C-alpha cells in the first residue's frame, strides 16, 4: 500500500507557489472516482452536489494541479464547506489520503488569497499565528475569560442581550465558549505528580492540549488518575505547545510544522517514553502524522517517525495495558450513548477501544447510537465558520441522541463535547444531563470504589 | 445569443442550473477510469415535467443530453459529451409507494438502490438485485444499465424486477409503459427496450419494481483454494449437483490482498482463490445445501471451507466482496475494469486464458467476479500516464474480449457498453444486430440528442 510518506509538497516548491501543484501527483491520482465515498459525506448528503462530495473536491484539486481550473473563490468556499471529518477516508477502499489533500487544498486557498478580507486575515493572524502558537498567551486569555465567566459579567452580558449586538461571528461564538477550568493542567499536574507509581509498568508522556489544557483540564486530571491507577508513570513536559492541527487544517502548514518541532523537542527532553498519550481525538489524528508533516525536514524527519510510532489515543493505551475493571457499587445504572469523534474514528481508526472501556465500567448501561459515526458539526471551528450547516448536523445528531433516552453522552474529543452539550442545552426535552469523556467515567468509577472502601 | 445555461434558467430555478468551471469539472467523469469530458452545463431536475421541459429545449436547439444518477457507472455511460447538458436526477429520490397487496414498489429514479432494498425489507419484502455500488448507485441508473450484482445467479438482474416505467422521450413527450400486472401483453413490451438502453432512448422518471417474499434463512460459506482451477471446478460441480446458490463469488489472490488491506476481516493472503458462496431459502434446505457445498468443495480440493457464524459476519464478507474493484486501486493509479461473461461451462478455460494474456502482454490483472453466472471482472492495473503500458493493456483487453465472444460469451455482463466497450460491440452483435440497434435508436431519438456516441458511434 502506498502510504504517501512524502506526499506533502516539499517546503521549497510550496513556498514558491501552489501547494496542490507541488503535491506528489500519486496522492490525487489515488482517487479512482468510484463514488463509494458519497453516501458517507455529510455535505453531499445535504446538497446532493458533486462539488460538495469528496470525489468532487478531489477532482477540483486535481484540475488545479493540472492547471485546468484556477484557484477561485468558489473553490476556496468549497474547501471550507468541507468539514474535514474524514468519513470519506474510512469509506475509501482505494486508500486515498484525504486528510493530506484537504490540508494541501486549504493551504492552497490561503496562499492564493481568494478568500482574504481584512477582517478574516486579522482574525486568522490573531488566532492561528498569535494565540494558538503560544501556550503562555493562551493561558493569559483563558484567565481573562475565566474572570468574565466567574464574576457574573457573562450572565449580565447575556441578560442585556449584548451578545446579539455583537458582530455575527462573535454572537455565534459566545454560547460555544467553553467554561474555563478552575485549574489548568500544569497546576493539576503539580498536585498529582507525587502520586506516580514507584515501580511503573510504563512511562507515558501526556499531551495536555490547548483547549483541553484550559477548558477541559478535568479530563486531563482524570486521564492522569486513570493512568496512575493502572501503573503508569505520567510525564507532562511543560514546554509543549498546541499540536498544530488547527493550523494544518486551516492552511497554515508552516506553523503546523514549527509547532510539531517544538513538541518533539519538549517530549525528547522528558527522556525515554513508552507512549505519548493524547485524549483529544482531533489532536491525536494530527499528532500521529508528524512523520508526514516533517518528512522533508532534515533534522526532524527521523525523530518524527519515532514520534508518530509512539502516539496513542488514551483508550487504545488503556485497552493495550489491560486496564483494571472498577468494582461494581450498589446504585442505579446510568444510560450512556457513545458518539464517535470523527478524528478518533476516521482519522485514527479507533472505534472499538472507547467502547471496550465503557463496557467495562460498572453501573453504566451503554447503548449504541444510530449514526454514531456521523459528524456532530463541531469539526474544529466549523461551528463558527459554517454555523448553518453545523446546526443542521447538530440537529440530526441530537435527534438520534434523544431517541436513545441517554442521560450521558460519552465522546473522546473536546470539540464534540462543547457542540453536543450546546445541543442538549438548546432542547428542553433532551434527557442528556452530561457530555463527558469516557476516561472521566472510568476515573469516576475508580473514585467511587475508593469512597466505598474508605 | 443566450447560453444554454441562460435558456435553461428560464425553465428551471437558477440554483439548479450549474455552469461554473468548478461545477463542470466535477461532472466531467463517472466511475470509469481515464474517461473525461466537460459538459456545457448541469441541470438538477426535480420532476418529470422539468425533464420534459429540458428535453423539449434540447431538441429545439439540437444539444446533446447525458442523463446521470450518482455517476458510478463503469463503462463511461454517463461521461458527458463535449458541451452537452448533464441531466442529473439525484434530487428525484422519493419512494412513492410500497404496495404489499401487489408486491410492488413505485420509485423515482434518483432513489439509492440500498434504500429501495431497505424499504422493501421494512415491509417484510425483498428486492434482490444488489450491484457492487448498491450503497450509492441510483435505481434509475440500475434500470438504464440493467445492472446485475451478487445475487444474479438465482434471482436474476434488474430487468427481472421492473414492471413498469415512465419515460420522457427525446422530444419531451411522456411515455407510460407496463403495469402492476404480472401478465400484460398489450402491444410490444416497450418497457424492455428502455431497460439497459443506457440513456440513449429516453429518460426514465418513474419505476414500478417487483418485490418478492424474502428467503426465510441463509448460510454463507467461504472457500479457500490453492489453485484457481480448483475454485472454478467447485463452482461447476455445485451447479452440476443441482444446487443454485444465490451467490457464488470469486476473488483471486491479488484481489484478496487488496480487499484485506482495506477491510481487515481476516481473509488469508496466501491462497490463490477465495469463493464466497451463499445459499438461501427454507432453513432445512439451506442446511442441506450448505453441507453439500462443503463436501463438494472438499472433493474439488479446497484447502478449507469456513461458515459465517452470524448475519453480521456474512454481511461483512459480502461488503468486502463489493469493494473489490475500488480496493484494487491500492496497487495502481489506473484500474480498468472489464466485465466479460461466458457460459458457465467455459469458466475454467476463460480463467486460464486471462492468466495467459497477462503473461503474454506483461500486464498486471486482478480478477474477481460472479463465477456462478459466468460474469468475470478482469481488472487491469496500470497508469494512464504510461503510454507504452496503456497500449499493451489495450491489446490485452481486446484479446480477452475476442476470446469471450468466441466462447459464446459477451463483452459486458452488467456494466453496459457506454464509451468503454463500443469498439467491441460490432464483433459481439454482428452486422444485423448493429443495424437493428441503429434503427431502434433512430425511431426513438431521430435527432440523436440522447447520450450520443455511447454504445455505438452515430453515423
Q: What are the tens digits of pLDDT across the range B342-384?
A: 998 888 899 999 999 999 999 999 999 999 889 999 999 999 8
A328 or B93, which is more confident?
B93
Cell numbers 459579567 correspond to A153
Q: Do A36 and B133 touch (CB under 8 A)?
A: yes
**Mean pLDDT, rounded, for B145-150:** 94
The pLDDT mean for chain A works out to 90
Select from A36, A53, A70 the Cβ nearest to the Cβ of B326: A36
Residue-wise DSSP of B392-458: HHHHHHHHHHHHHHHTT-BSBSSS--TTTTGGGHHHHHHHHHHHHHHHHHHHH-TT--BSTTSSS--
Backbone angles phi, psi at B378, to 5 degrees: -65, 125
Residue-wise pLDDT for A400-426, tens only, equals 999 999 999 999 999 999 999 999 998
**Mean pLDDT, rounded, for B413-422:** 95
**Contact in structure between B225 and B273 (CB atoms under 8 Å):** yes
Select from B30, B259, B329 the Cβ nearest to the Cβ of A30: B329
Order of strands across the sheet that contains B375-382: B304-307, B217-225, B273-281, B247-252, B364-370, B375-382, B334-337
Backbone angles phi, psi at B451, to 5 degrees: 45, 50
Q: Do B22 and A29 touch (CB under 8 A)?
A: no
Percentage of chain A exceeding pLDDT 90: 75
pLDDT for A6 equals 47
Q: Mapped to the 3 state alphabet, what secondary structure does A162-183 carry?
A: HHHHCCHHHHHHHHHCCCCCCC
pLDDT for B345 equals 85
Taking alpha carbons only, the member of B336, B332, B346, B333 closest to residue B375 is B346
Nearest CA-CA distance, residue B33 and chain A, Å: 7
The residues facing B107 across adjacent strands are B95, B207
Q: Quick one: B180 exposed, middle or buried, by C-beta within 10 A (0-12, 13-18, 19+)?
A: middle
Q: Do A36 and B329 touch (CB under 8 A)?
A: no
CA neighbours closer than 13 Å in the CB half-sphere of residue A86:
27
Nearest CA-CA distance, residue B45 and chain A, Å: 12
Supply B372's cell numbers. Answer: 456462478
Taking alpha carbons only, the member of B314, B333, B331, B311 closest to residue B322 is B314
**Contact in structure between B144 and B205 (CB atoms under 8 Å):** no
Angle at A331 between CA A327 and CA A335, to 5 degrees: 90
**Mean pLDDT, rounded, for B298-316:** 93
From chain A, the residues in CB contact with B23 under 8 A are 49-51
**Contact in structure between A281 and A413 (CB atoms under 8 Å):** yes
**Mean pLDDT, rounded, for A208-231:** 95
* CA-CA-CA-CA dihedral for A122, A126, A132, A138, to nearest 10: -160
From chain B, the residues in CB contact with A63 under 8 A are 25
**Contact in structure between A378 and A435 (CB atoms under 8 Å):** no
Is B22 in CB contact (< 8 Å) with chain A?
A: yes
Provide the 10 A C-beta neighbour count for residue B359. 10
Q: Quick one: A127 exposed, middle or buried, by C-beta within 10 A (0-12, 13-18, 19+)?
A: middle
From chain B, the residues in CB contact with A75 under 8 A are 22
Select from A1, A29, A34 the Cβ nearest to the Cβ of B31: A34
Q: Which of B19, B136, B263, B332 to mutate to test the interface with A (most CBs of A within 10 A)?
A: B136
Residue-wise DSSP of B159-208: GGGEEEEEEE-TTS-EEEEE-S-S---SSS-HHHHHTT-TTSS-EEEEEE
Q: Quick one: B268 exposed, middle or buried, by C-beta within 10 A (0-12, 13-18, 19+)?
A: middle
Nearest CA-CA distance, residue A405 and chain B, Å: 24
- Give A108's contacts (C-beta < 8 A, 6+ positions apart): A18, A19, A20, A61, A64, A71, A79, A251
From chain A, the residues in CB contact with B255 under 8 A are none
Residue A204 has pLDDT above 90, yes or no: yes
From chain B, the residues in CB contact with A39 under 8 A are 112, 114, 135-136
B277 sits in which H/E element:
strand B273-281
- Give B213's contacts (C-beta < 8 A, 6+ positions apart): B124, B125, B126
**Mean pLDDT, rounded, for A373-397:** 92
Tally DSSP H helices, then E strands, for chain B.
15, 16
Report residue A174 CA to chain centroid gap: 20
Residue-wise pLDDT for B218-227, tens only, equals 999 999 999 9
- Give B241's contacts (C-beta < 8 A, 6+ positions apart): B292, B296
Residue A65 has pLDDT above 50, yes or no: yes
Residue B19 has pLDDT above 60, yes or no: yes
Q: Is B453 left (phi over 0), alpha (psi -120 to 50) or beta?
A: left
**Contact in structure between B326 and A32 (CB atoms under 8 Å):** yes
Q: How confident is the model at residue A178 (pLDDT cuts 50, 70, 90)?
A: confident
Select from B22, B27, B262 the Cβ nearest to the Cβ of A74: B22
Residue A1 has pLDDT above 80, yes or no: no
Q: What is the largest CA-CA distance in chain A?
A: 72
Give me the sign of the Cα torsion angle B181, B183, B184, B189: positive
Rounded distance between C-alpha atoms, residue A382 and residue B244, angstroms: 53
Q: Do A69 and B25 touch (CB under 8 A)?
A: yes
Taking alpha carbons only, the member of B278, B299, B277, B273 closest to residue B354 is B273
From chain A, the residues in CB contact with B70 under 8 A are 35, 38
Residue of A nearest to B383 (CA): A29
Residue of A nearest to B336 (CA): A32
Q: Do A33 and B29 touch (CB under 8 A)?
A: yes
Is B329 in CB contact (< 8 Å) with chain A?
A: yes
The pLDDT mean for chain B works out to 95
**Contact in structure between B317 and B265 (CB atoms under 8 Å):** yes
Residue A18 has pLDDT above 90, yes or no: no
From chain A, the residues in CB contact with B325 under 8 A are 34
pLDDT for A17 equals 75
The residues facing A79 across adjacent strands are none
**Contact in structure between B110 and B140 (CB atoms under 8 Å):** yes
Taking alpha carbons only, the member of A265, A271, A263 closest to residue A243 is A263
Is B406 in CB contact (< 8 Å) with chain A?
A: no
- Give B83's contacts (C-beta < 8 A, 6+ positions apart): B38, B39, B40, B63, B64
Q: Do B333 and A34 touch (CB under 8 A)?
A: no
Q: How confident is the model at residue A12 (pLDDT cuts 50, 70, 90)?
A: very low
Measure Cα distances from B51 to B40, B200, B210, B311 in Å. 17, 15, 25, 42
Residue-wise pLDDT for A103-148, tens only, equals 999 999 999 999 999 999 998 998 898 889 998 999 999 998 898 8
From chain A, the residues in CB contact with B261 under 8 A are 1, 95
CA neighbours closer than 13 Å in the CB half-sphere of residue A305:
9
Supply A188's cell numbers. Answer: 493539576
Residue B156 has pLDDT above 80, yes or no: yes
Amino acid at each position: 500500500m502506498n502510504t504517501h510518506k512524502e506526499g506533502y509538497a516539499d517546503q521549497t516548491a510550496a513556498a514558491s507557489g501552489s501547494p496542490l501543484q507541488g503535491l506528489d501527483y500519486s496522492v490525487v491520482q489515488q482517487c479512482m472516482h468510484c463514488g463509494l465515498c458519497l453516501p458517507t459525506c455529510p455535505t453531499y448528503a445535504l446538497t446532493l452536489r458533486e462539488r460538495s462530495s469528496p470525489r468532487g473536491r478531489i477532482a477540483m484539486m486535481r484540475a488545479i494541479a493540472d492547471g485546468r481550473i484556477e484557484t477561485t473563490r468558489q473553490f476556496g468556499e468549497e474547501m471550507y464547506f468541507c468539514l474535514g471529518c474524514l468519513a470519506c477516508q474510512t469509506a475509501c477502499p482505494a486508500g486515498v489520503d484525504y486528510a493530506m489533500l484537504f490540508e494541501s487544498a486549504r493551504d492552497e486557498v490561503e496562499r492564493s488569497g481568494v478568500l482574504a478580507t481584512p477582517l478574516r486575515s486579522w482574525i486568522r493572524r490573531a488566532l492561528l499565528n498569535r494565540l494558538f502558537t503560544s501556550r503562555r498567551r493562551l493561558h493569559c486569555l483563558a484567565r481573562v475569560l475565566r474572570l468574565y465567566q466567574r464574576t457574573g459579567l457573562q450572565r449580565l452580558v447575556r441578560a442585556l442581550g449584548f451578545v446579539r449586538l455583537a458582530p455575527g461571528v462573535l454572537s455565534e461564538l459566545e454560547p460555544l465558549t467553553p467554561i474555563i477550568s478552575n485549574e489548568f493542567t500544569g497546576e493539576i499536574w503539580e498536585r498529582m505528580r507525587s502520586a506516580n507509581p514507584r515501580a511503573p509498568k510504563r512511562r507515558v508522556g501526556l499531551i495536555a492540549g490547548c483547549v483541553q489544557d484550559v477548558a477541559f483540564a478535568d479530563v486531563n486530571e482524570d486521564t492522569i488518575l486513570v493512568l496512575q491507577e493502572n501503573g503508569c508513570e505520567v510525564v507532562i513536559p511543560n514546554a509543549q505547545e498546541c499540536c498544530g492541527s488547527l493550523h494544518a487544517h486551516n492552511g497554515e502548514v508552516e506553523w503546523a510544522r514549527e509547532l510539531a518541532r517544538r513538541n518533539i523537542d519538549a517530549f525528547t527532553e522528558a527522556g525515554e517514553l513508552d507512549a505519548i498519550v493524547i485524549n483529544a481525538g482531533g489532536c491525536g489524528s494530527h499528532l500521529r502524522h508528524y512523520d508526514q508533516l516533517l518528512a522533508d525536514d532534515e533534522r526532524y524527519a527521523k525523530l518524527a517517525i519515532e514520534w508518530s510510532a509512539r502516539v496513542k489515543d488514551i483508550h487504545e493505551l488503556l485497552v493495550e495495558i489491560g486496564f483494571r475493571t472498577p468494582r461494581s457499587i450498589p446504585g442505579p445504572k446510568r444510560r450512556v450513548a457513545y458518539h464517535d469523534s470523527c478524528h478518533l474514528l476516521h482519522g485514527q481508526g479507533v472505534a472499538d477501544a472507547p467502547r471496550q472501556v465503557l463496557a467495562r465500567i460498572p453501573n453504566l448501561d451503554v447503548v449504541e447510537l444510530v449514526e454514531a459515526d456521523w459528524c456532530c458539526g463541531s469539526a474544529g471551528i466549523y461551528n463558527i465558520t459554517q454555523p448553518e450547516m453545523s446546526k443542521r448536523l447538530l440537529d440530526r445528531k441530537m435527534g438520534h441522541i434523544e431517541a436513545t433516552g441517554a442521560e450521558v453522552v460519552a465522546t473522546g474529543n473536546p470539540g464534540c463535547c462543547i457542540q453536543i452539550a450546546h445541543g442538549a442545552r438548546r432542547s428542553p426535552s433532551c434527557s442528556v444531563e452530561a457530555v463527558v469523556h469516557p476516561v472521566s467515567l472510568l476515573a469516576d468509577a475508580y473514585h467511587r470504589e475508593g469512597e466505598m472502601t474508605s | 445569443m443566450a447560453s444554454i445555461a441562460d435558456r435553461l434558467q428560464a425553465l428551471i430555478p437558477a440554483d439548479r442550473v450549474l455552469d461554473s468551471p468548478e461545477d463542470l469539472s466535477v461532472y466531467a467523469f463517472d466511475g470509469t477510469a481515464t474517461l473525461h469530458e466537460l459538459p456545457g452545463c448541469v441541470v438538477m431536475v426535480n420532476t418529470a415535467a422539468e425533464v420534459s421541459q429540458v428535453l423539449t429545449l434540447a431538441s429545439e436547439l439540437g444539444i446533446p443530453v447525458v442523463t446521470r444518477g450518482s455517476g458510478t457507472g463503469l463503462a463511461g455511460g454517463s461521461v458527458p459529451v463535449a458541451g452537452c447538458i448533464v441531466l442529473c436526477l439525484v434530487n428525484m429520490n422519493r419512494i412513492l409507494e410500497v404496495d404489499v397487496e401487489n408486491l410492488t414498489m413505485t420509485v423515482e429514479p434518483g432513489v439509492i438502490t440500498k434504500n429501495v432494498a431497505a424499504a422493501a425489507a421494512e415491509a417484510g419484502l425483498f428486492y434482490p438485485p444488489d450491484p457492487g455500488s448498491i450503497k450509492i448507485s441510483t435505481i434509475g441508473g440500475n434500470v438504464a444499465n440493467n445492472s446485475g450484482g451478487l445475487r444474479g445467479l438465482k434471482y436474476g438482474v434488474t430487468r427481472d424486477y421492473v414492471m413498469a416505467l415512465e419515460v420522457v422521450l427525446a422530444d419531451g413527450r411522456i411515455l407510460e409503459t407496463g403495469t402492476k400486472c404480472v401478465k400484460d401483453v398489450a402491444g410490444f413490451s416497450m418497457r424492455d427496450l428502455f431497460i439497459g438502453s443506457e440513456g440513449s432512448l429516453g429518460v426514465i422518471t418513474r419505476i414500478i419494481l417487483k418485490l418478492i417474499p424474502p428467503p426465510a434463512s441463509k448460510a454463507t460459506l467461504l472457500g479457500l483454494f490453492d489453485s484457481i482451477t480448483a475454485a472454478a471446478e467447485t463452482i461447476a460441480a455445485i451447479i452440476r449437483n443441482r444446487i443454485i446458490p444465490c451467490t457464488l463469488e470469486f476473488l483471486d489472490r491479488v484481489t484478496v490482498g487488496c480487499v484485506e488491506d482495506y477491510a481487515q476481516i481476516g481473509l488469508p493472503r496466501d491462497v490463490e482463490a477465495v469463493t464466497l458462496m451463499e445459499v438461501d431459502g427454507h432453513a432445512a434446505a439451506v442446511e442441506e445445501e450448505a453441507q453439500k457445498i462443503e463436501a463438494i468443495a472438499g472433493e474439488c480440493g479446497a484447502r478449507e471451507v469456513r461458515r459465517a457464524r452470524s448475519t453480521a459476519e456474512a454481511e461483512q464478507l459480502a461488503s468486502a466482496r463489493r469493494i473489490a474493484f475500488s480496493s484494487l486501486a491500492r496497487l495502481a493509479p489506473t484500474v480498468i475494469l472489464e466485465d466479460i461473461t461466458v457460459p458457465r461451462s467455459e469458466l475454467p478455460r476463460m480463467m486460464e486464458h486471462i492468466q495467459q494474456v497477462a503473461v503474454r502482454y506483461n500486464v498486471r490483472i486482478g480478477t474477481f467476479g460472479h463465477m456462478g453466472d459466468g460474469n468475470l471482472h478482469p481488472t487491469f492495473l496500470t497508469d494512464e500516464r504510461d503510454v507504452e503500458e496503456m497500449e499493451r493493456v489495450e491489446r490485452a483487453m481486446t484479446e480477452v474480449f475476442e476470446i469471450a465472444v468466441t466462447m459464446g460469451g459477451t463483452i459486458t455482463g452488467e456494466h453496459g457498453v457506454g464509451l468503454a466497450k463500443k469498439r467491441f460491440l460490432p464483433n459481439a452483435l454482428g452486422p444485423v444486430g448493429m443495424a437493428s440497434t441503429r434503427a431502434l435508436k433512430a425511431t426513438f431519438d431521430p435527432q440523436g440528442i440522447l447520450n450520443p456516441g455511447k454504445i455505438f458511434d452515430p453515423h
